[in-house]
């Protein structure tokens, strides 16, 4: 693909020509997708929040799939009194124990303070 045809294509799509890096024939990755996150990194940017979240979710799914493929339990044991402990209770469909509940409450308070 030549520069001219790419610019013409972008112009025909109503997009500014030559403002995007040309990373192959694929269209520009949308924000809120793992590919969008990769695009930010390629451009030397920090991924925006939707991209970061999408990438994290994709990574988590990928890790879990890999763990299952290796015959590992989906989660390593989590200690009580931590956020992971709390989530482990939830995951096992248990009532979280007191230390875990407190850890979760503290985390929530932290999140609210950061927001
Ligand atoms: Zn983005
Ligand atoms: Zn616990």
d(CA 56, CA 28): 20
For helices 98-114 and 83-91, angle between their N-to-C axes, nearest 10 degrees = 120
pLDDT tens column, 76-96: 667 899 999 999 899 889 999
Does 75 or 72 have the greater pLDDT score? 72
What is the whole-number distance in angstroms between the Cα of residue 81 and the centre of ligand 2?
6
Residue 86: strand, helix, or coil = helix
CA atoms within 13 A on the CB side of 54: 17
| Ligand showing the shortest atom-to-Cα distance for residue 83 | 2
pTM over 0.85: no
Contact present, 100 and 89 (Cβ < 8 Å) = yes
What is the whole-number distance in angstroms between the Cα of residue 94 and the centre of ligand 2?
9
Q: Band the pLDDT of 54: cuts 50, 70, 90.
A: very high
d(CA 97, CA 100): 5
Mean pLDDT of 18-22: 49
| Ligand showing the shortest atom-to-Cα distance for residue 85 | 2
What is the whole-number distance in angstroms between the Cα of residue 108 and the centre of ligand 2?
16
What is the whole-number distance in angstroms between the Cα of residue 111 and the centre of ligand 1?
22
Distance set, CA 77 to CA 8, 18, 19, 80 (Å): 56, 51, 48, 9
Contact present, 26 and 36 (Cβ < 8 Å) = no
């Amino acid at each position: 693909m030549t520069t001219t045809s790419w610019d013409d294509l972008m112009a025909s799509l109503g997009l500014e020509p030559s403002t995007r890096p040309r990373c192959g024939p694929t269209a520009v990755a949308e924000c809120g997708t793992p590919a969008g996150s990769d695009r930010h990194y390629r451009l030397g940017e920090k991924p925006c929040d939707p991209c970061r979240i999408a990438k994290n979710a994709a990574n988590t799914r990928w890790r879990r799939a890999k763990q299952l493929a290796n015959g590992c339990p989906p989660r390593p044991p989590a200690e009580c009194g931590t956020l992971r402990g709390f989530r482990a209770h939830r995951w096992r469909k248990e009532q979280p124990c007191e230390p875990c509940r407190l850890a979760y409450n503290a985390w929530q308070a932290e999140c609210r303070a950061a927001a």
